[in-house]
Amino acid sequence: AQTVTQSQPEMSVQEAETVTLSCTYDTSESDYYLFWYKQPPSRQMILVIRQEAYKQQNATENRFSVNFQKAAKSFSLKISDSQLGDAAMYFCAYRSAYNNNDMRFGAGTRLTVKP
C-alpha cells in the first residue's frame, strides 16, 4: 500500500525568507499524482499545488514550487518570500492514477511564520 511520510512535524520561517517542507512516499506504481494542501486555522483544506508523476518539470504556483524527485520518491514544497498568511498545516498527498479515489495523506507539517 502507498504511504506518505512527512518527517517534519513542525517548521518555522522568518517572514520573507524561504522554507522547504519535505515529503516522501512509497509506491510501486509508475503513474500517480502528488499534491500539497494547506490547512489554515480556518480549517478548510486548500489545494496549493499539484504534480503529475509523468511530468519531469517541477510544478510552480507563484511563490510555491516543488522539487519532485521520482526516483527518490521525494516531493518537497518550497515556499519563497514567506508571508504571515502562509502559516498553516501543510499536507502532502498521493493519488494513484489507477485508482482515482485512493488518495493518501501525510501526517502534516505545521508551519509557523515569524514576523
For another protein, the closer CB: 28 or 100: 100
By CB under 8 A, name the binding residues for another protein: 33, 35, 37, 42-47, 50, 91, 95, 100-101, 103, 105-108
In the complex, what is the shortest distance from the CB of residue 87 to another protein, in angstroms, rounded to a whole number?
18
Q: Are 81 and 16 spatial neighbours (Cβ–Cβ below 8 Å)?
A: yes
3-class secondary structure, 86: helix
* Smaller CB separation from another protein, 13 or 93: 93
Distance CA 89, CA 38 (A): 6
User: Residue 97 has which C-alpha cell?
Assistant: 492514477
Instruction: Write the DSSP symbol of residue 85.
Output: G
| Closest listed residue to residue 82, CA positions, set 17, 12, 10, 11 | 17
Nearer to another protein, 1 or 72 (CB): 1
Q: Cβ 106 to another protein, closest distance in Å?
A: 8
What sign results for the dihedral spanned by CA atoms 60, 43, 74, 50?
negative
Nearer to another protein, 50 or 70 (CB): 50
- Least distance to another protein, CB of residue 11, Å: 17
C-beta of 85: minimal distance to another protein in Å?
Answer: 17
